Amino acid sequence: MIERLPHSDGLPLPSAATSGAAGVDLMAAVQEPVVIPPGGRALVPTGFAVALPVGHEWQIRPRSGLALKHGVTVLNAPGTIDEDYRGEVGVILLNAGAKAFEVTRGMRIAQAVLAPVVRQVLVETNRLPISERGAGGFGSTGVGA
């Protein structure tokens, strides 16, 4: 279910651009343009709230065109909208590009992919089982083919 908020009047609801699209496009529900300087970030409103199916999340992901052409991405990609969240969906955009980026009303800024969630049950132990990798950290498995 989706609830339109007053500041999204006139904007289309999130929808898939094509029949094969994995996610729905999210649009900026800004009243005035928002300029994100190089290295800057902004929380951009979408103008709606959702109630997701039980056992699912929305993964908020960057749009590849914005990333390639402007260096604009979703800062906490993928962002998560939990099934029990009922506030406005917002997108944290990061401008990793070299020029200021202007977000305008109705601009497609991100995409949301519905994904199942596996509930975690953690069991405390005094010792973890041994694995081939062990405690090796970043780069510990090498870079060669």
Annotated binding site: 63-65, 76, 80-82
Per-residue DSSP letter, 10: T
Binding-site sequence positions for substrate: 63-65, 76, 80-82
List C-alpha distances in Å: 29 to 104, 107, 138. Answer: 8, 8, 39
